[in-house]
Structure 1
Amino acid sequence: MSGTSSQHRARLIFDPIELRYDFGAQHPFQQDNRLKALFDLLELCNIWRTVDAQMSLPLRAATMEELQLAHSPEYIAAVQRLSSPLPAEASAGEREARGQLTLRYGFGDGDTPALPGMHEIAAHAAGGTLVALSAVMGLAEGGKFASEEQRPLHVFHPGGGFHHAWEERASGFCVYNDIAVAIAHVLQSSEAKVLYLDFDAHHGDGVQRAFYDDPRVMTVSLHETGRYLFPGTGDVLEVGNGSGRGYSVNVPLEAFTEDGSYIDVMNSLLSPLVASFAPDVIISQHGCDAHAWDPLTHLSLTMRGIQAPMQAVHELAHTYCQGRWVAVGGGGYDLFRVVPRAWSMLWAEMSEQRLPEALPEAWIKRWQPAWEATQKEELAAQQVMGKSSVPSSFPTTFLDKIEDFPQQPRRWEISRTNRHTVALVRHLFMSSYMRQAFPVERRRTSPLADLFDLLHMNRETGPSRIRMLDTKKGPVFLRDFCPPSFVERLRPDSELRAFARLPEREHQLLLGIARSPDCALTLGYTPSGEIIGEVTIAPADEWWEGIENLYEVAIEVSSNWRSLGIASKMLAFALELDALEDMILFAVGLSWHWDFEGLGLSIYRYRELISRLFSSQGFKEYPTTEPNVSMEPANVFLARIGNRVDQRTANQFLNRVLSAPNLARL
């Protein structure tokens, strides 16, 4: 896909002042070394040139007003004051006041020491990400371009990514939170929705904190569990607050997670989350400290695992955001072996250029001695983190050699725990439709698949039941077991959007569900081919693992076709099969229906409506500690136990419903 035209839609933004964001030779964060090694590698690979204006974007410092979008005036004033060295002749009182200032605002713990000129340096880092995000969004702060075709779709800011800084505190090597500043500016200047994806091994706590109650920003962080690693946050149950509940997604991974498990986790979550949120732009943080050679974390990825998110985000940006994508740097403390390779891969992905298999010999000769000079300290740090088997060799290729990364002894247990974490995240953040349209690989086939095949022989061409309803708005057809070819020929009603926010995406979800061998899709549609409602029956998700013959039911009717009795008739039609008496059916109402506000009903009145709908088909409401209900008191859990379900299975289900879930297990 390489080519000049595509490269012009990608820019790299950098200013030499960013090299001064450096805490010294004894500190793990050395921006000067890693960025110089990166740019040298880019130029030697001939995929970026400093002098090529069409591949770069000018950077400026964020203004005081822009910084105040994410930081308090008092904090900014403290940063400015601490940016000037204390005069040698300073009095004892002045020294004491300076000491109190460093402690109050996070500069006194050794992680983020005050730097000379740090306000100017950090303001430029913040300004770089703000300009980058503004450019892809078409805002004035992104600069002027000769034509809209010249405006970049992708911008990479390797000197950004300071995701730990709080509104009033420096933290984790971060002074100003460039990501929060840039996102806040977009929210102030437009009606855009922003998706933030964080792949740093450390939880992106500062960005999450900045938008914890804002439904226009979804933050998704894949990171090492905080049980052992700074900042100690990022639990699955940190889901957002108030109207922002459900928009903070955290995926804490087990220490020593390897490529396979990491990529499985990412593939299970990113696409359905993006599809449900429907963002206008993606900003991703690509800290590469999840690599096995990094001295500050316990994760065990190779370059294959580091590269996978880059490729995934690129595809998601073009699928859902018209290509709008900003990427920033972040963590990465193996300065010479990991960071330059990782971020060269990121720039090659964004600019759609091909990297050579081998690293340039000139680059190796230049930077291997720099790594060797720090090797002793680096190996000691890795051994402290439990990485005593790390080989002491300098890479010669962009991708790692598999033999340099022996299998972790607890691989199966680590992968299983990560799968449980994914199960809980999917259960908490995805509607039934999303989980069905983006299924995880099942370890065993659902019995429902065999049943459907038996009933209909060939699902692509076999008979479906069809029934016609007379309504005040005209006739509506109901059809069950809809094959994909049939769904493709229909189109969604303009107000069919309860699960994916946009009708066209709702249609794509229905296609995905129709293609699933163990899901039953019933549609309501008009003679002109408009889908006005749907019912799905699908195997319960991983949260309910171990309970046989358990299926989730979900229903939707376009708001253009409500109050006509369609929902009850469609649900009854979908549940008429006698074979369903061998199954337990359940529904979680309300939590995924964000369109109820248009009905003019209170949330509790809408809950009553859902309860009455399912009760008409034999469902009973159960008190439960199921997470979607226990975390949202207005929610409702309804179930119907088939007449032929054996008592052991029924008791197992009821015990799971009525007993507190073991969240630690997940």
Structure 2
Amino acid sequence: MDNRVAFIYSDAFLGYDFGKSHPLNPIRLLLTFRLIKDLGLLEREDVTLLEPEYATREDLLRVHTPEFIDAVKSAGEGKLPRSPFIFTEFGLGYGDNPIFEGMYEASSLYVGASLKAARLIVEGDARRAFNISGGLHHATASRASGFCIFNDPAIAISYLKEHFERVMYIDIDAHHGDGVQWIFYDDPSVLTVSFHESGRYLFPGTGEIDEIGEGKGKGYAVNIPLPRGTSDPAYLYAFGEIVPELAEVFEPGIVVTQLGADTHFLDPLTDLSLTTRAYSEIGKMLDEITQKLCDGRWLALGGGGYDMTVVPRAWSIHFARMVGLNPDYSIPEDWMRFCENTIHRRPPRELLDSETPGEDPSILEEVRGVVEDVKRYHRAFFSDR
């Protein structure tokens, strides 16, 4: 297998646009690409920059129903039926998922980018690949949800299952990775692991510890719901206590990660309190786990993140870890000016935050209790080890 790391990007990603007032601003993808480029990471001999490809209807049918795919296409073409309620049935046209022209094509490009990244790894053209436009983890088979039209992680995993006996999915978005979980809820070949702010406080209201899978998949859905205010020490404790051991026992052929950056203390939509230093440590652990257990194979996807100065730094940190570097970088002045001119805010000068929120000692104790409960519900992975 080629040891190259692939980065998938096109300015066409900016077409996935719900409108100026919507929190999911696609400019974050351009800012990320420019920062990774300005840091010199795309000039490395072991890195390949590639254009995405559109997913086909057949690709989408791996997960989504024909009726839902047709509804997305019709909505994006402005072909409204006599009764607009059909779009409400499919989760389109209100609140989180407003209809926009070209919705089908824009969504298909995100899926196609994740599939291309997966195929590069399967075919041996790269060991790792990162699609920052991906990670739209809320969509279900027949419904858009939470800014997500098609579920690219689930479609990529469906493809990867044809080539690996076991696929491990790790989701660090502040919101529960519900769509991916439900799609593989009865499937023991896919281990879904989601760290998220508790659904008691945050959309989508799911992801409790007792959601563990069903049928043959019982035990293969792992949820770590975290209290509001969870910061670096408590989060990293939970991640370190759970993920390495799960991976060791499950022995995945490949790891797929959803790297949502809305866990940051500056994020406007959530109440977790991580810094970018936590992302560096998480990336380091993911690098070590994949190197040790699955020959380095790692498919990374983007996800949430609604502060435009955080997302580019977070994903640059993860990409640095993917290519084996310590991301203790100062941010180039060219990017600082580009960011200011684009979003009219001055970003921090370093990838790794110097500012840290205050730590509430009671949160660490609460997270310790969550970890104990997770291990109790998943004794097959943790008992006598």
Bucket of the pairwise TM-score, normalised by the shorter protein = over 0.9
Point out where structure 2 has 5 or more consecutive residues left out of the alignment.
none
Matched, 1:289 2:283: no
2:339 alignment partner, one of 364, 367, 388: 367
**Conserved? CA contact 1:45–1:356, under 8 Å:** no
Query: Who is 1:85 aligned against?
Result: 78
SS at match of 1:322: coil
Q: Does 1:342 align with 2:278?
A: no
Q: Which SS does the other structure have where 1:307 is aligned?
A: helix
**Contact kept? 1:35, 1:340, Cα under 8 Å:** yes
Report the alpha carbon displacement of residue 63 of structure 1 after superposing the two structures with TM: 1.2
| Equivalent residue, structure 1, for 2:55 | 62
Cα shift at 1:53: 10
Asked if the contact 1:166/1:177 (under 8 Å) is kept, the reply is yes
CA gap of 1:113–1:398, structure 2 versus 1, over 3 A, is: same
- Work out the CA distance in 2 between the residues paired with 1:297 and 1:323: 32
Asked if residue 108 in structure 1 is aligned to residue 105 in structure 2, the reply is no
Give the equivalent residue in structure 2 for 1:248.
Answer: 221
Match of 2:348 in 1: 395
Among 104, 119, 128, the residue aligned to 1:154: 128
Tell me, in whole angstroms, the C-alpha distance in 2 between the residues paired with 1:196 and 1:296.
Answer: 24
| Structure 1: 5+ residue stretches without partners | 87-93, 139-147, 374-392, 438-666
Amino acid at match of 1:78: A
* Equivalent residues of 1:72, 1:167 under 8 A apart: yes
Question: Which aligned pairs between 1:216-365 and structure 2 lie closer than 5 A?
Answer: 216-335=189-308, 337-353=309-325, 355=327, 357-365=329-337
**Which residues in structure 2 correspond to 1:421-432 (within 5 Å)?**
421-431=370-380
Displacement of 1:435 in angstroms is 4.5
Q: Which amino acid aligns with 2:49?
A: S
Instruction: Give the TM-score taking structure 1 as reference length.
Output: 0.56
1:48 aligns to 2:55 (yes or no)? no
Contact 2:41–2:47 (CA under 8 A) maintained in structure 1: no
Change in Cα spacing, 1:102 to 1:53, as seen in structure 2 (3 Å) is farther
Q: CA deviation at 1:109?
A: 2.9
Q: Pick from 147, 151, 163 the counterpart of residue 190 of structure 1.
A: 163
Q: Which residue of 2 aligns with 1:122?
A: 107
For the Cα contact (< 8 Å) 2:263–2:271, is it kept in 1?
yes
CA 1:407–1:21: 2 relative to 1, 3 Å = same
Pick the aligned partner of 1:405 from 353, 356, 361.
Answer: 356
Query: Offset at 1:227?
Result: 0.6
Alpha-carbon distance in structure 2 between the residues aligned to 1:153 and 1:53: 10
Structure 2 CA distance, aligned partners of 1:46 and 1:351?
Answer: 12
1:304 Cα deviation after fit: 1.2
8 A Cα contact 1:179 1:207, kept in partner: yes
Distance in 2, matches of 1:114 and 1:245, equals 37
What RMSD in Å do the two structures reach over aligned CA positions?
Answer: 2.0
> Comparing both chains, which one has the higher relative contact order based on Cα–Cα distances under 8 Å and sequence gaps of 6 or more?
2
Taking the aligned partners of 2:220 and 2:193, their CA distance within structure 1 comes to 8
Structure 1 residue 136, shift from structure 2 partner: 1.3
2:7 matched residue in structure 1 = 12
Matches of 2:153 and 2:74, distance apart in 1: 23
1 CA distance for matches of 2:170 and 2:164? Answer: 20
Q: How many aligned residue pairs are there?
A: 385
Q: What secondary structure, in the 3-state scheme, does the structure 1 residue paired with 2:118 have?
A: helix
Q: CA deviation at 1:358?
A: 1.4
Whole-angstrom CA distance in 1 between matches of 2:51 and 2:337: 31
Larger radius of gyration: 1
* Deviation of the 1:113 alpha carbon: 0.8
1:569-590, CA deviations, whole angstroms, 9 ceiling, x for partnerless residues?
A: xxxxxxxxxxxxxxxxxxxxxx
Residue-by-residue CA offset, 1:336-374 (whole Å, 9 max, x unaligned): x1011111111111122454631111211221344446x
Q: For residue 120 of structure 2, what is the aligned residue in structure 1?
A: 135
Between the aligned partners of 1:215 and 1:305, the Cα distance in structure 2 is 30
The letter of the residue matching 1:66 is: D
Aligned partners of 1:290 and 1:306 also within 8 Å: no
SS at 2:41 equivalent: coil
Shift of 1:205: 0.3
Contact 1:158 1:329 in 2 (8 A): yes
Note if contact 1:132-1:155 (Cα within 8 Å) is conserved in structure 2. yes
Cα distance 1:415–1:355, how it changes in 2: closer, same or farther (>3 A)? closer
Distance of 1:191 and 1:303 partners within structure 2: 32
Amino acid in structure 2 at the alignment position of 1:62: A
Q: What's the CA shift string for 1:261-291, capped at 9, x where partnerless? A: 0000001001111111111110000000000
Q: Please tell me whether the aligned partners of residues 230 and 273 of structure 2 are also in contact (alpha carbons under 8 angstroms).
A: yes
Superimposed CA distance per residue, residues 44-88 of structure 1 (whole angstroms, 9 cap, x where no aligned partner):
1111159x99512342111111111100000000001001135xx
Kindly, what percent of the aligned residue pairs are identical? 38
Kindly provide the CA deviation profile for residues 477-512 of structure 1, in whole angstroms up to 9, marking residues without a partner as x.
xxxxxxxxxxxxxxxxxxxxxxxxxxxxxxxxxxxx
Counterpart residue type for residue 414 of structure 1: I
Q: Deviations over 1:595-619 (max 9, x none)?
A: xxxxxxxxxxxxxxxxxxxxxxxxx
Q: Return the alpha-carbon distance in structure 1 between the equivalents of residues 326 and 276 of structure 2.
A: 16
Structure 1 position 38 matched with structure 2 position 32: yes
**Residue identity opposite 2:214 in structure 1:** N
Provide the rounded CA distance (Å) in 2 between the counterparts of 1:214 and 1:105: 25
CA offset at residue 190 of structure 1?
3.1
AA partner of residue 345 (structure 1):
I
Is contact 1:157–1:328 with CA below 8 Å preserved after alignment? yes
1:237 & 1:121 partners in 2: Cα distance?
36
SS, match of residue 120 in structure 2: helix
Runs of 4+ in 1 over 6 A off after TM superposition: none
